[in-house]
Amino acid sequence: MKSKKKIVLAYSGGLDTSIILKWLQENYNAEVICYTADVGQEIDRKKIFKNARKLGVKNIIIQDLKDIFVKDYVFPMIRGHAIYEGVYLLGTSIARPLIAKDQIRVAKKYKAYAVSHGATGKGNDQVRFELGYHYFGPKIKVIAPWRIWDLKSRTDLINYAKKNNIEIPKDKKGAPPFSIDDNLFHTSTEGKALENPKNFAPEFIFQRTISPEKAPNKPSFITIDFKNGDPNGINGKKLSPAKLLQKLNLVAGKNGIGRVDLVENRFLGIKSRGVYETPGGTLLINAHRAIESVTLDKETMHKKDVIMSRYAELIYNGYWFSKERIKLQKTVDLKRNKVNGSVKLKLYKGNVIIHSRITKSKAYSMQKVSFEENKSFNKSNVERFINFHKTKL
């Protein structure tokens, strides 16, 4: 007897992907394999297995990618100081390429002919997933239900779920909920009251940060240690990439750090309003810039600043695996071996304050910068320097 074709679905166990699972079974006469990438989001393993098995799924895969995610995706992005449109630290964007890559790995392992995702037809994630799918599995078919099915509204989805005995969470009955995405690096919230930019973000939507007003009245201090451009410890204690970020998230979140409310320009041209929480990432990017300020030369630092906007845009648009992003990463990492030392941060009511920078690097010279007279800096050359630049006016 000929075996059924296989589809690997990016599956969360929630209402939307459970509906997609059932819809794929009905419309493609295929065995669906449920795949969940653990990149540090809140995962209910029992719910994933329960809901998938209820719909007859035999293969349910939950892959722990937390350390890979932080080490090979978040850290390189931090080295590039990537910030999209001035404020967004790209928390959702940076997770999608890894998920797509590993989903294709699973598809190849099980000889699946197709992969599927639950990204909506208006958002960026469909682009990010599918560019990753194409890079690692160009011959594997992509099924994007939100672009092709007849379910046009939340009411349609609820009715479909009821018809197929799919559990509907209480908070999803009636009006659509806030759309939430989270991983070890960030949490994003969109939809509902946030769709109108005149509305202030309600406090209850925040997942991992308290409001600056309710943060402690005394500052917290934390030291981040760096080796070859990457953080490798906190307060002198070495930690794995995932555990390091987890600890930074907790400390920063308790001090009301890492909140951003923005209206961004999506890759598809739509403007959308979202609220992002990136507590540990906010500490990392501040500390990394601080350690580079005392370890890298001016030319290298300024070159990185010039390319940062384009580098961030490539990540936002889903081009993590592109030749251009990889080329820019080489520029970013040109002298990362010089970026060693530690930065002590003062955290107070939503603020990140550089307390001190410690390094063995000689890029910063106290002798040259001193207000005391010394022979390490030849001031007689300054007039020639100024006269040369007058010719460029």
Could you tell me the domains of the chain?
A: 5-66+94-174 (3.40.50.620), 186-296+335-366 (3.90.1260.10)
CA distance linking residue 183 with residue 204, whole number of Å: 19
35 CB-near residues (< 8 Å, 6+ apart): 8, 9, 10, 11, 61, 63, 102, 103, 106
**What's the confidence (pLDDT) of residue 375?**
61
Decide if 54 contacts 15 (C-beta within 8 A).
no
Provide the angle, in degrees to the nearest 10, between the axes of the packed helices 298-316 and 91-109.
60
Decide if 89 contacts 285 (C-beta within 8 A).
yes
Q: Where are the extended beta strands (E) located within 278-350? A: 341-348
Active site residues: 16, 96, 125, 179
**What's the confidence (pLDDT) of residue 374?**
59
Low-confidence ranges of the chain (pLDDT < 70): 1-2, 170-177, 367-377
Angle at the Cα of 31 from the Cα atoms of 25 and 35, rounded to 5 degrees: 95
Decide if 345 contacts 283 (C-beta within 8 A).
yes
Strand 259-265 and strand 271-277: the pairing is antiparallel
Which tens digit of pLDDT belongs to each residue from 46-92?
999 999 999 999 999 999 999 999 999 999 999 999 999 999 999 99
pTM of the model: 0.93
Q: SS3 for 92?
A: helix
Residues paired with 261 in a beta bridge: 275
The alpha helices in 86-224, defined as continuous H runs, are: 91-109, 125-136, 145-148, 154-163
Identify which of 58, 9, 10, 4 has the alpha carbon closest to the alpha carbon of residue 30.
Answer: 4
Q: Is 155 left (phi over 0), alpha (psi -120 to 50) or beta?
A: alpha
Decide if 177 contacts 191 (C-beta within 8 A).
yes
**What's the confidence (pLDDT) of residue 376?**
62
Long-range contacts of 143-151 (CB under 8 A, 24+ apart): 143/7, 143/24, 143/28, 143/114, 143/115, 143/116, 144/116, 144/117, 144/119, 145/20, 145/23, 145/24, 145/116, 145/118, 146/118, 146/119, 146/120, 146/121, 147/121, 149/23, 149/27, 151/19, 151/23
Enter the tokens of residue 317: 């648009």
Query: How many CA atoms lie within 13 Å of 130's alpha carbon, on the beta-carbon side?
Result: 16
Which tens digit of pLDDT belongs to each residue from 92-143?
999 999 999 999 999 999 999 999 999 988 889 999 999 999 999 999 999 9
CA distance linking residue 40 with residue 60, whole number of Å: 18
